Structure 1
């Protein structure tokens, strides 16, 4: 029989053997893991080598280094100047740094191209020293649209101020003074463009104007300045050689008097583009006997401007007749004629021909544009940069300007008009009077493009009206009709067909008809139109159709909606359709 002492002696010896066995086994496992990691590292290195060799032998690597450098430069410039993000990309790596990690060949070319490292688009502070070193002596492009990214590195950036040619910054209000002090610490001999904005939504406080001390008063190449939520001292000479001046949302404490504004502009004889936000009334402190000549001016835009300020400024400026004018006005009143008189001081003199007009009508805002071409290329209604548009006026609607025919009043004030194309986008129900006034004021109109309005009853009625002679018909020169996003009423396609036949009999037929996204329109009705119109372009869009079994929700046209709606609903629609509607009078009065 085994004793207790003997049994106790067995257990320790067995435990020691197990522990020793585990130790040996673990050693083998560690060796296997180490070998595996070594093999994986070798495989990764081999893969990198093969990938590098593959890129080296690819077609793009056969290109000469100077062509690759051009491609890389385009990529960097596009990222810098066209990016609209407010923060840097993930890991804050500049795009030039990403290029160097593709292959050894690309890395060598990128490192030998200082201009690739000269574009700083919201670059993290961790990369700035590397960018400065690799850019060598190349002129810098610095863009920081985010105040949070700028506040971490603006001292590093401003240490390179003499090398910067393009500087765009956005600052928190409480850091403006520090930034202006840094900008005043050195001259900026290479600076050509300076853009500075203040993020006022975070904090409200008085922002001090930019003085002559900025750049130590030495920025001889500076030609473009854009300021938002801040301004400069209007008596300053630092910005006296500008070609572009854009100052918007001027603080009340920095608002110039008319004499200060004109004195500043007088010091800019080479000015080509002027954009000002003049929401508060300019103090007309003195009378000017002569006008400020801006002989090189190509465009002037007044944003969030009162009508009185616009009249005051235009009355004191002399500029070429082909200047593009863009106005975003507060509600306008009875002095509309004063505005056009101030803008066009010699309406009978030479000038470009106005051939097209576009109108945008909504419940709160009206907009009118006049262009020299037959079409409008711009996607935006108020765009000072559009080369074909000579005049854009957008304004809030007041009680005296709510009648849509006001746009034709403007048309009569524009000199050198031979308007042949009319583009109308409206969320309102345009009444007969609108189209009758248009027919009277635009006798040479050849094309109408109507979009967005809920129906075309009034246009159809006016096209049908007239006497027995072609000259008595509305729009006697009309031969192109484009309808987009329109609700066709029941029977209106047939009625339009009859009108086209009638007009054709008088020699004023419609030659081209374009239908885009028109509702309650089916192939059978379009075929009727194709029988009388030479060129019908229909996108095949079908919506809001009448189902024979009552399915599909029924007809969506205005007639069926009116019949199914209550009287109260109809009156609400009527009240919102055309502003100050007077059932006894459909005339427009500016007063």
Structure 2
């Protein structure tokens, strides 16, 4: 055993050592504070940066976001003092929720009920608190069954969004009928026909809908999800939705800007009795998923001032291009732009884009579409003259699509997958795309190079009619400097 004197001496040295460690720690903190490149940034700027980082990281790993608070004392204090950084309870692991909830202080909450979270005792205190203080809810996600929603009977003045993944039955006194900031609802079940808490609703995503509900008149965005059903005033299902019922509902939404419809399988084939189309002046973005070809006639009864985006998803076995005539006629009538580029993906998806510099915006899209004759689609769209044509394929087809089109000035051939496309340039009497000026190739295989580069050179240099190709753009084609030098004898080459 150590003597008393020896123990006292050891304790003395340990105290001096610990004091030095404390001094070293203090010096490090001072060095970090005085020499940091971010020391001159105001706390509110750092807090804004943390907020951006929080949004980018927490959807993947909450622990990575927490690392910010371990960098230095200043960063930690700023993060801990900003309640908004801790108010998104939807991304917090269950065992961290009590601490995050405390750090959020009085900030409005993004709250998730159910789903993959434990809904046991560890979370009950949150739900009890929110039921007593619904003014704290900003966004509410209900992803599980339970009676939690029945406990929300007090006004929620800051609630902006409600999302339910179950067929939730909203109680008559939900939120006391008061939610003045509620603008967005995503609901897998049905909403009541009359609800004062929906008075200011502007965005609705729903699967069971009362098409005549008063609150729908303020909608800016409407999405009727997969196999949606219409309900009558008593809440019963309308088993065969007619086109006129849908059109009348849309007519009562004069502010609508965005519309997404999945037309149900029980859609009536009866023609519309309307004498004139409905005119939705603000509608700019339309998506219609067709379960069968017939309901596409909805486009015969719609007019908008200027369409900016139109997407139609066709049945998987759909090949009759004549059936999409109403879509094309509507687009020709309501689109006022020009110079659209065409993109063909694996002979299945046809897209038209507006180009602005290096960016492009989708404008007209035919998804899951297998036309037997691509040229017939182009003929249905006389106002959409293709100037740029992109072909994105796993394996390039043996014949060039739209080969006779005399307006195409740029041709982009892109391998869609990691394996390079092997492209043949046929030496035919009739060279496709007589107005072609630029050729862009991405991930196109030139192996063996000795056999593939000469045909490409002849294809570029010996065009018997039309314009001369002025630019060849190569990206990830794996050519050597010698190959590129050979191509530059006949055309300007950019890339490698």
What TM-score results when the alignment is normalised by the length of structure 1? 0.65
Paired residue secondary structure (1:390): strand
User: Where does residue 514 of structure 1 map in the other structure?
Assistant: 473
For residues 124-159 of structure 1, give each alpha carbon's deviation from its aligned partner in whole angstroms, at most 9, with x where no partner exists.
566656655654554434468953257763625743
Give 1 or 2: higher strand fraction. 2
Which one of 363, 369, 374 corresponds to residue 390 of structure 1?
363
Alignment partners' CA distance in 1, 2:102 and 2:52: 19
User: Where does residue 484 of structure 1 map in the other structure?
Assistant: 442
Alignment partners' CA distance in 2, 1:493 and 1:187: 72
Shift of 1:422: 0.6
Paired residue secondary structure (1:147): coil
Which one of 283, 292, 299 corresponds to residue 285 of structure 2?
299
1:170 and 1:369, CA in 2 relative to 1: closer, same or farther beyond 3 A? farther
Work out which of the two has the higher radius of gyration on C-alpha atoms and give 1 or 2: 1
Alignment partners' CA distance in 2, 1:392 and 1:518: 29
Alignment partners' CA distance in 2, 1:56 and 1:150: 42
CA RMSD of aligned residues (A): 4.1
Question: How many residues are treated as equivalent by the alignment?
Answer: 460
| Greater Cα shift, 323-332 or 340-349 | 340-349
* 8 Å CA contact 1:224, 1:242 repeated in 2: no
Residues 83-162 of structure 1 correspond to what in structure 2 (within 5 A)? 83-85=58-60, 88-89=62-63, 95=66, 105-106=74-75, 109-110=78-79, 113-124=82-93, 135-142=104-111, 147-148=116-117, 153=123, 155=127, 158-159=130-131, 160-162=133-135
| Greater Cα shift, 282-291 or 344-353 | 282-291
* 8 Å CA contact 2:390, 2:412 repeated in 1: yes
1:272 and 1:137, CA in 2 relative to 1: closer, same or farther beyond 3 A? farther
- Indicate yes or no: 2:456 matched with 1:496: yes
Alignment partners' CA distance in 2, 1:358 and 1:296: 28
Residues 165-564 of structure 1 correspond to what in structure 2 (within 5 A)? 165-167=138-140, 169=141, 171-172=143-144, 175=145, 177-182=146-151, 184-197=152-165, 207-208=167-168, 214-227=174-187, 231=206, 233-235=208-210, 236-237=213-214, 241-250=218-227, 257-258=241-242, 262=247, 265-266=250-251, 268-278=253-263, 280-283=265-268, 287=272, 289=274, 291=277, 293-302=279-288, 305-308=290-293, 311-331=296-316, 333=318, 336-342=321-327, 344-345=329-330, 347-348=332-333, 351-361=336-346, 366-373=348-355, 377=359, 388-395=361-368, 401=371, 403=372, 405-406=373-374, 408-432=375-399, 434-435=400-401, 438-440=402-404, 442-452=405-415, 454-457=421-424, 459-461=425-427, 464-466=428-430, 474-488=432-446, 491-503=451-463, 508-518=467-477, 523-533=481-491, 535-539=492-496
Alignment partners' CA distance in 2, 1:454 and 1:126: 50
Shift of 1:446: 0.5
Shift of 1:476: 1.7
For residues 132-188 of structure 1, give each alpha carbon's deviation from its aligned partner in whole angstroms, at most 9, with x where no partner exists.
565455443446895325776362574353333334x3624xx2x535434x53333
For residues 76-102 of structure 1, give each alpha carbon's deviation from its aligned partner in whole angstroms, at most 9, with x where no partner exists.
2442366433x7438xxx74xx66665
Alignment partners' CA distance in 1, 2:452 and 2:303: 51
Which one of 74, 77, 85 corresponds to residue 49 of structure 2?
74
* 8 Å CA contact 2:207, 2:229 repeated in 1: no
For residues 452-493 of structure 1, give each alpha carbon's deviation from its aligned partner in whole angstroms, at most 9, with x where no partner exists.
274333x534xx433xxxxxx532210111222223466332
Paired residue secondary structure (1:373): strand
Shift of 1:390: 0.7
Give 1 or 2: higher helix fraction. 1
Alignment partners' CA distance in 2, 1:171 and 1:428: 43
For residues 551-576 of structure 1, give each alpha carbon's deviation from its aligned partner in whole angstroms, at most 9, with x where no partner exists.
xxxxxxxxxxxxxxxxxxxxxxxxxx
Shift of 1:223: 2.8
* 8 Å CA contact 1:295, 1:320 repeated in 2: yes
For residues 273-331 of structure 1, give each alpha carbon's deviation from its aligned partner in whole angstroms, at most 9, with x where no partner exists.
3334446443468946265544323322345x424376154445433322312233322
Shift of 1:507: 6.1
* 8 Å CA contact 1:324, 1:391 repeated in 2: yes
Shift of 1:34: 5.5
Alignment partners' CA distance in 2, 1:30 and 1:253: 85
Alignment partners' CA distance in 2, 1:126 and 1:104: 24
For residues 97-119 of structure 1, give each alpha carbon's deviation from its aligned partner in whole angstroms, at most 9, with x where no partner exists.
x6666555455545654444444
* 8 Å CA contact 1:419, 1:444 repeated in 2: yes
* 8 Å CA contact 2:208, 2:230 repeated in 1: no
* 8 Å CA contact 1:141, 1:164 repeated in 2: yes
